[in-house]
Amino acid sequence: MAAQGNTVATLVDVARQLDPDGKIARVAELLNQTNAVLDDIVWKEGNLPTGDRTTVRTGLPGVSFRALNEGVPRSKSTVSQFDEGAAMLEGFSEVDRKEAILSGNVARYRLNEQLAFFESMNQTMSSYLFYGNAATTPKAFTGLAPRYASLTGTTKDQLLDCGGTGSDNCSIWLVVWGENSIRGIYPKGSKAGLFHEDVSDVTTASDGFPTGTVLYDANGNPYMGYRDHYEWNCGLSVKDWRFAARACNISRAALTKDISTGADLQDVFIQLSERVQSLEMGGTKAAFYAPRVVNTMLRRQLVNKKNGFLSWEEIGGRKVMAFDGIPIRRVDALNVSEARVV
């Protein structure tokens, strides 16, 4: 069974360290409840106001055997640096003060709207974590798929072609999160995770409710309301691309609960596990990520006793489906209509 790291800093851990009153931590926990991938990402403060500059070793020093009275050549390792950018994901919510009061519970009314924004930020972050591309969307950050996008490119050894040729393909990912492998980043000097701020006037008015702030309708006419601001400065740093692997071109239509047809998911998971550099490196956390249709088929295979490496494990206090001890996370943001990767 692969070891699961318990010492790496997740979003909740970092948020709790930075904000002793727990406000950001509560937001982080709300996000984790709606998307399990946020349970796994290791977060690190970048060393740049715009992200993080990473130094990687690109060559080892030369060594040689020697004889008595004979020297050896001097040598040194070589390194390279590259920058990973973080992006600013923001939103504002506004509600009519009178409408909130008429609801009977102002705080709950506003929280219902906040939850919608949390979910929207969550879905956007999850989507860009896999499909974001700063080359085509400069305001965003680059996710995993553009880095593992070719069967003949630099990362070709990390891709497994599962044979799908149509337009109903999907992918399964294995990511080993860690400070020296793949991690989430936030800019130097900023707060980790989603930051929520009430930007209304919270002074109590004569009617016993917060005063609020002046809002404007589509015609520019003012009215009293409440305003909330949401901000998440986030990015992805792939320090060592060998710590992720992608099984692409999985034909969704060909999947069945019997592994004898369609993509052999058991074999796919085994090959992904062997393509990453290590599952046992200290301070890392490994997890598989699959779209809902794959998760459904895996559960059917488990019930059908057609996949001997599948099991239910208790990870982080929750029952999670796992393959050889590595948790399998359902990510609805993963597309099930990917074009064939070539």
What confidence tens digit (pLDDT) does each residue in 232-259 have? 999 999 999 999 999 999 998 888 877 6
Q: Comparing 31-45, 144-158, 172-186, 193-207, which segment has the lowest mean pLDDT?
A: 31-45
Structure tokens at 287: 């997890």
Cα torsion 323, 145, 148, 306 to 10°: value is 20
Mean pLDDT of 298-311: 79
Q: Can you give the pLDDT at residue 3?
A: 39
Mean pLDDT of 60-65: 91
String of DSSP letters for 306-320: --TTEEEEEETTEEE
Which pLDDT band, with edges at 50, 70 and 90, does 2 fall under? very low
| pLDDT of 270 higher than 70 | yes
Structure tokens at 10: 């997740």
- Report the percent of the chain where pLDDT is more than 90: 51
pTM: 0.82
What confidence tens digit (pLDDT) does each residue in 177-210 have? 999 999 999 999 888 878 889 999 888 899 889 9
Mean pLDDT of the chain: 86
Structure tokens at 232: 């998440």
Which pLDDT band, with edges at 50, 70 and 90, does 5 fall under? very low
Q: Which helix (H) or strand (E) holds 38?
A: helix 37-40
Domain boundaries, the chain: 11-55+83-195+232-330
175, 228 Cβ separation under 8 angstroms: no
String of DSSP letters for 40-82: H--EEE-SBTTEEEEEEEEEPPP-----TT--------EEEEE
Q: Can you give the pLDDT at residue 27?
A: 59
Q: Can you give the pLDDT at residue 111?
A: 86
Instruction: Label residues 188-206 b or e (16+ Cβ within 10 Å = b).
Output: eebbbbbbbeeebeeeeee
Q: Can you give the pLDDT at residue 195?
A: 85
Which pLDDT band, with edges at 50, 70 and 90, does 306 fall under? low
Mean pLDDT of 9-25: 55
Q: Can you give the pLDDT at residue 139?
A: 94
